Amino acid sequence: MQTDSRIYVAGHNGLVGSTICRRLSSEGYQNLIVRDHSQLDLCNEIAVNDFFAETKPEYVFLAAAVVGGIHANDTRPVEFLRDNLLIQTNIIEAAYQTGVKKLAFLGSTCIYPRDCPQPIKEEYLLTGPLEETNQWYAIAKIAGIKLCQAYRKQHGFNAISMMPTNLYGPGDNFDLQSSHVLPALIRKFHEGKVNHSKQVEVWGSGKPFREFLYVEDMAEACCYLMENYNDESIINIGTGQDVSIKALAELIKDIIGYEGNIVFDSSKPDGTPKKVTDVTKIKASGWQSTTSLQAGLEKTYAWYLKNAPKALA
Ligand code: GDP
């Protein structure tokens, strides 16, 4: 990419897309192309084709998707499957048709089989059944990977697929019904502290393990791979380290300074028991994460304190 390349970031209002945009701007890229949902409905094939024909992007970061935590996934399966299939199909086809030089598709580690060996290597894709709570999202993302590979195979289109682990950071979704665990716990412990609550509820047993990647590290990795990775096979973006939900809750409780108790709500699902990526491949390609969980949490909580009224409005 040159600093004057036309770069379309699909999903620029989301956690991932907004961070990629900030990173590109800070690196001097001046020709970022973005569209709000009100300006462009990515589920509408004709609108997407017109947009690409008109703006002629050279590089595309495909970070637009219907996303959400365990509850949202489980209760809004149509959007997670149908809308994501449409969004990625429309963008990949239009990008190919209009001569985009390279497209980077963002997936997720929920594409991997529920009970696959840990840490998760890229080759475990499609070797076993998926976790049920997020199968809708996973199937859509697997179709996106295959679509990238199909366009490469049939048309020589340079489309790569990157699989970031659970992300968090400034700009995250703090809505308790649709968010992922980390922002939900920041909000719950913060409100618990402010309201002097005796206890804060954490969903499930606290026993599952998750890996968390600070979103600015992820944006750095995405830009790095856009410049340096040109393979049809998928590549994990993670830290290679995981933590139990219980330990995460205790860490967030300490950072926020909440003094009450943690209680586990076993009526809520645990989801996958353990999910941590093998990052050998991305490390070998020359990138590794640098932000510790503690440091990332402190930055995210500082952002929340500054932005919570607006973020929650
Ligand atoms: P997942 O990684 O796809 O399972 O998505 P989540 O980030 O939503 O959930 C991860 C784990 O955190 C699951 O075991 C949840 O039950 C647990 N968890 C604990 N408290 C919460 C909460 O307040 N919100 C969410 N979304 N998950 C929670």
Those residues whose C-beta lies under 8 Å from the C-beta of residue 161, and which sit 6 or more positions away, are 104, 105, 106, 107, 144, 145, 148, 149, 234, 235
* The token pair that represents 214 in the structure block: 């600070």
Residue 206 Cβ contacting ligand 1 at under 6 Å? no
The pLDDT value recorded for residue 70 is: 82
Minimum CA distance residue for ligand 1 atom 22: 181
Q: Which atom of ligand 1 is nearest to the CA of 134?
A: 3
| CA distance linking residue 34 with residue 187, whole number of Å | 29
Average pLDDT over residues 156-164: 98
Residue whose CB lies within 8 A of the most ligand 1 atoms, among 203, 211, 251, 266, for a mutation test: 203
Find the catalytic residue in 59, 112, 137, 229. 137
Do 243 and 209 meet the contact criterion of CB atoms below 8 Å apart? yes
Q: Does the annotation mark 137 as catalytic? A: yes
The pLDDT value recorded for residue 191 is: 94
The pLDDT value recorded for residue 308 is: 80
Q: Give residue for tokens 């598709």.
A: 105
The pLDDT value recorded for residue 312 is: 59
| CA distance linking residue 311 with residue 304, whole number of Å | 8
| CA distance linking residue 278 with residue 112, whole number of Å | 12
Average pLDDT, the chain: 96
Q: How far is the CA of 134 from the centre of ligand 1 (A)?
A: 12
The pLDDT value recorded for residue 168 is: 97
Using one digit for the tens of pLDDT, what is the confidence trace for 249-302? 999 999 999 999 999 999 999 988 999 999 999 999 999 999 999 999 999 999
Q: Is the pLDDT of residue 313 over 60?
A: no
Q: Is the pLDDT of residue 311 over 70?
A: no
Q: How far is the CA of 180 from the centre of ligand 1 (A)?
A: 6
Q: How far is the CA of 302 from the centre of ligand 1 (A)?
A: 22
| CA distance linking residue 256 with residue 237, whole number of Å | 28
Using one digit for the tens of pLDDT, what is the confidence trace for 100-126? 999 999 999 999 999 999 999 999 999
Residue 134 Cβ contacting ligand 1 at under 6 Å? yes
- Walk me through the domains of the chain, giving residue ranges and CATH numbers: 7-171+211-240+276-291 (3.40.50.720)
Q: Is the pLDDT of residue 240 over 70?
A: yes
Taking CA 211 as the corner, what is the angle to CA 306 and CA 114, rounded to the nearest 5 degrees?
A: 130
Tell me the one-letter amino acid at 197: S
